[in-house]
Structure 1
Amino acid sequence: MKQTRTQSPSTDADRARDKMYSRSGQILFQMSYFKTFVKRSERPGIGRSIRSGAQPSCTVNINGLSWQIMIKACECAGTAAIPTCIDIGLHCLGDKTDMAWSCRAAAQFSVVSFKKSGECLLKRRGLDSFDVYTANCVGSVHDCAYTVEELMDPENGFYDEKADTVTFKAEIVVEEPIGMPGARLEDTLLINGEFVNVNKHLLAGYSKFFRILFFGENAEEKPNIQIDDVPNAVANFERLIATMCPQNEEELDDFCVEGVLLLANRFLLDSVVNRCVEFLLTKSKKSAICKFRLAHQCGIIGMKEKILKEMTKEDFAVSWENYMDNCSEVTKMGAEAMNELSERHTELLETE
């Protein structure tokens, strides 16, 4: 009997991609201490008043942007101490410093009954009414959406008195944002058996390795790359992808730069190699011997020569601070690199 190939990897990959860039989604917000929120009283057992400002839900990613429900006690009716209405709104966590992006989104709000198997009632707004979100306008609010009285009326089944909660829901439709930096990571790649979001066209454009992997004659539909020689391979690969975006200036640090550089060198991603080299030469606090070892390991001749030339006797000093680090670095080198270091050390000693 002919065996059919399992479809689970593709299904999981498609699900991961669709979740990240789905056009629609929903947010459930079970708001705790609801009575204390609307009455401005103290939380039981805590002894401090609940915040009077907007209360955010968890964050959900829809079509490449992060979104939240915001709940606020409306003070246009009643008093600040005892509001009679609740505002509900949608908040986008887009970059407030980037004036280029914009996005259209629509939301329908409702309240979930805790008595009727999660039935959604008191619907407000519709999914055909879109608002425009930008860096200058990241939220839209439905003022006085609900009265406190209707939410807390026991007959309506919205307020769970025992748990002191009301659950709000938002169905959201988000059109593809425009003006966003970087490429949308709409593809997936298996790294050590784990799915990582990538843009295969972007990778192929920068690397011959990925050009062959994704579009070569023997390209697989869902390729799997096994990385055994770099610790935390999946996390470092995700950092590598993020580093490809010029706007992500803070992606590199001394904790990850070695792993990112080794992967970029292996996969022929010269643009990322260049960023790693720049970071190591201008910002990194790693020892000169560590930088030399990385340059030699990756065959970056110019960087290696520069580091050797600028080394001082202090870089070779055997002190309590750098002894263990230098020993660790030396044990990772081959004979050729150790000879080059030895020659440089001898040169420095002869200048005394």
Structure 2
Amino acid sequence: MSETEGTDLKGVVRLRIDKVAELGAEATFSPAEKIAKLPWRLEVLKTAGEGQHSPPTLAVYVWCNWLNKSNSWSCRAIVKFIIKSRELDFVRNFEHNFCAKQPFVNWTRLLDPGSSSYSSSHDSKEYEDSSLEIEAQICVKEIIGYGVPTKEDQMFVNGNIFVVNKFLLAAHSPYFRAFFFEDRFRECQTQTFEINDKEVDVDMFGIMLSCIYPDNGKPNGLVFVNF
């Protein structure tokens, strides 16, 4: 990924569903896209109706930065959903503070063979092969509680180098708080740190860092508000 990729405040996430009639309750996810340096993706699944005789619905969810479980941040964005079938398009606009799940189109309007979209019989090949194209046009307006500090420190974990910010790691972990800043630790006087422990899984350590520090900075032109 280039330095500028994912820094734009606007972007599009797309997902194509082939053979819509076979879509079940198991979620289908789009590839992740970077918008405003945050990861975004779509989730689509069939959900039960609210009442006993209510028809099921096609739920389209939009996820932002789903690996970061902290309650201290939010991202305000305007999203335009577009769902395209053979003859019928749905469009919905909304503004939301993410993470968000947004149920969308009534399932039977897309799959009912008697509707204007699908006039063929339920067991026809044309019905079985019907598809949907789902698109979310995202415009990020504000990120709150997510001003990202500069990475200034190097950490070697079993010989693998990670560029980190010791203040951010210390805020998330009592271990790192002691590791970086208690007087009896030599590491508090330097910007280069080493962990040599065969019990430490390097891959999992990298995943942990991506969760608490998911990107290298913030895009230009975006409002960041820190607590």
Superposition TM-score tier, normalisation by shorter sequence: 0.5 to 0.7
Tell me what 1:180 maps to: 146
Tell me what 1:25 maps to: 11
Which SS does the other structure have where 1:21 is aligned?
Answer: coil
Match of 2:34 among 45, 48, 61: 61
Deviations 1:275-323 (A, max 9, x none): 543x24xx445xxxxxxxxxxxxxxxxxxxxxxxxxxxxxxxxxxxxxx
The Cα of 1:27 is off from its aligned counterpart by 1.2
Contact 2:20 2:128 (8 Å CA) reproduced: no
Relative to structure 1, the CA distance from residue 88 to residue 94 in structure 2 (aligned partners, 3 Å threshold; closer, same or farther) is: closer
Match of 1:166 among 116, 132, 137: 132
Deviations 1:217-244 (A, max 9, x none): xxxxxxxxxxxxxxxxxx96xx43xx24
Aligned residue identity for 1:97: K
Match of 1:72 among 24, 27, 45: 45
Aligned residue identity for 1:91: W
Tell me what 1:105 maps to: 77
Deviations 1:55-113 (A, max 9, x none): 32221111122112222323226869x95421222222345432221111221111234
Give 1 or 2: higher strand fraction.
Answer: 2
Moved over 6 A (4+): none
The Cα of 1:178 is off from its aligned counterpart by 2.1
Match of 1:121 among 89, 102, 109: 89
2:137 & 2:126 partners in 1: Cα distance?
22
Residue 139, structure 1, aligned to residue 107, structure 2: no
Which SS does the other structure have where 2:21 is aligned?
Answer: helix
Unaligned runs of 5+ in 1: 1-11, 38-49, 184-201, 208-234, 250-270, 286-352
TM-score in terms of structure 2 length? 0.56
Deviations 1:172-218 (A, max 9, x none): 112241212634xxxxxxxxxxxxxxxxxx57xx69xxxxxxxxxxx
2:55 & 2:147 partners in 1: Cα distance?
42
Give 1 or 2: higher helix fraction.
Answer: 1
1:171 & 1:25 partners in 2: Cα distance?
6
Relative to structure 1, the CA distance from residue 79 to residue 35 in structure 2 (aligned partners, 3 Å threshold; closer, same or farther) is: farther
Q: How many residues align?
A: 169
- Residues 1-352 of structure 1 mapped to structure 2, 5 A cutoff: 16-17=3-4, 19-37=5-23, 50=24, 52-76=25-49, 83-113=55-85, 121-124=89-92, 126=93, 129-133=94-98, 138-143=99-104, 145-151=105-111, 156=117, 161=127, 163=129, 165-180=131-146, 182-183=148-149, 202=150, 239-240=162-163, 243-244=164-165, 246-247=167-168, 274=190, 276-277=192-193, 279-280=194-195, 283-285=196-198
2:96 & 2:167 partners in 1: Cα distance?
30
Contact 1:104 1:130 (8 Å CA) reproduced: yes
Relative to structure 1, the CA distance from residue 141 to residue 25 in structure 2 (aligned partners, 3 Å threshold; closer, same or farther) is: same
1:163 & 1:89 partners in 2: Cα distance?
23
Deviations 1:119-166 (A, max 9, x none): x92112x2xx31112xxxx223135x2333335659638x97575532
The Cα of 1:247 is off from its aligned counterpart by 3.6
Bigger Rg, which one: 1
Q: Give the CA RMSD over aligned residues.
A: 4.0
Contact 2:57 2:106 (8 Å CA) reproduced: yes
Which SS does the other structure have where 1:20 is aligned?
Answer: coil
1:161 & 1:248 partners in 2: Cα distance?
53
Contact 1:105 1:132 (8 Å CA) reproduced: yes
1:245 & 1:156 partners in 2: Cα distance?
57
Tell me what 2:176 maps to: none
Which SS does the other structure have where 1:171 is aligned?
Answer: strand
The Cα of 1:25 is off from its aligned counterpart by 1.0
